[in-house]
Amino acid sequence: GDSVTQMEGPVTLSEEAFLTINCTYTATGYPSLFWYVQYPGEGLQLLLKATKADDKGSNKGFEATYRKETTSFHLEKGSVQVSDSAVYFCALDNNAGNMLTFGGGTRLMVKP
Amino acid sequence: DVKVTQSSRYLVKRTGEKVFLECVQDMDHENMFWYRQDPGLGLRLIYFSYDVKMKEKGDIPEGYSVSREKKERFSLILESASTNQTSMYLCASSLLAGGPAGELFFGEGSRLTVL
C-alpha cells in the first residue's frame, strides 16, 4: 500500500537557519503530495501541495518540489523564524477520494 | 473560512465508559474523516464518510464506530473505552469525493485520556 516516510525529529535550528525536512513516498500511479503544518494547540492546516511531477508548491517562504524519479517531496525554507516552530506532516493522495496517507510528522523547534 | 469544530478539547474517561466525540463543519462538505494522532505514527484514519448515513472503515477501525445523521455532523463513538485509545483525535472535512486533490480542513483536536 501507499506510505510516506519523514525524517524523525525534533529538528532544532537557530533563527534564520536553512531548513530541510525530508519526505519520501511509496505509491502506485501519480499521487498528489502535500505538506501540512500543526502549530501548538491547533489542528493541521495545509501549507503547500503539488499535483504532478516537477511541480513546485510554495507558501509562506516554504517550498517543496515533486520529484518522481526519487519519489521525494522535501520541504525547504531559506530562513526560519521562531514562529515556524510546529510539527510538519508530509502526505499523499493517490486519487482515493481525498483520503490522505500521512507521514509520522517532524517537530521543528526554532530558537531565537 | 471553513470551520471544523470539535466539541471537546480535553476529555478524561474511565476504562469501559462509552465516549462520544462530536464534529461539526460549516461549509457543506461531503467528506468527513476521523483520524487519531500518536507521536511517531502520524495520523491514522479511523473512519470516513462520503455522505449522510454512509461510513467506510479506514486503517484502524477496531474499537470505534461512527454516525453521520446530518451532513454537517460526524460523530466518533468508543463503545467501551480502553487505555490504548488514549490519543489525540482529529476530525477533518473536504469538499468532494473524487474531486481535485484534496485540501482537508481540520478541527483543533480532542485529546482523550482513558484511565
Give the tens place of pLDDT for each residue, A88-110: 999 998 876 667 889 999 999 99
Of all residues in chain A, what percent carry a pLDDT higher than 70?
Answer: 97
The β-bridge relationship of strands A62-65 and A56-59 is: antiparallel
What are A29's three cell numbers? 500511479
Q: How far is A104 from chain B (nearest CA, A)?
A: 4
Q: What is the rounded CA–CA span in Å between residue A40 and residue A18?
A: 22
pLDDT bracket for residue A72 (50, 70, 90): very high
Inter-chain touch B102–A104, beta carbons under 8 Å? no
Inter-chain touch B42–A51, beta carbons under 8 Å? no
pLDDT of residue B2: 65
Phi, psi values for residue B83, rounded to 5° = -65, -30
pLDDT of residue B94: 87
Half-sphere exposure of B55 (CA within 13 A, CB side): 19
Of all residues in chain B, what percent carry a pLDDT higher than 90?
Answer: 71
Inter-chain touch A32–B4, beta carbons under 8 Å? no
Q: How far is B62 from chain A (nearest CA, A)?
A: 18
Span A50-59, average pLDDT: 94
Cell match 485520556: residue?
Answer: B113
pLDDT of residue B103: 80
Q: How far is B43 from chain A (nearest CA, A)?
A: 6
Residues 6+ apart with CB under 8 A from A65: A50, A54, A55, A56, A57, A73, A74
- Cα B39 from chain centroid (whole Å): 17
pLDDT in tens, B5-60: 998 899 999 999 999 999 999 988 889 999 999 988 889 999 999 889 899 999 89
pLDDT bracket for residue B95 (50, 70, 90): confident
By Cβ distance, the residue of B31, B42, B106 closest to A104 is: B42
Closest residue in chain A to residue B41, using alpha carbons only: A104
Q: What is the rounded CA–CA span in Å between residue A107 and residue A105?
A: 7
Contacts of A102 in chain B (CB under 8 A): 35, 42-44
Q: What is the rounded CA–CA span in Å between residue A63 and residue A54?
A: 12
Inter-chain touch A104–B31, beta carbons under 8 Å? no
Is the four-CA dihedral A95, A98, A103, A108 of positive or negative sign?
positive
Inter-chain touch B43–A95, beta carbons under 8 Å? no
pLDDT bracket for residue B101 (50, 70, 90): low
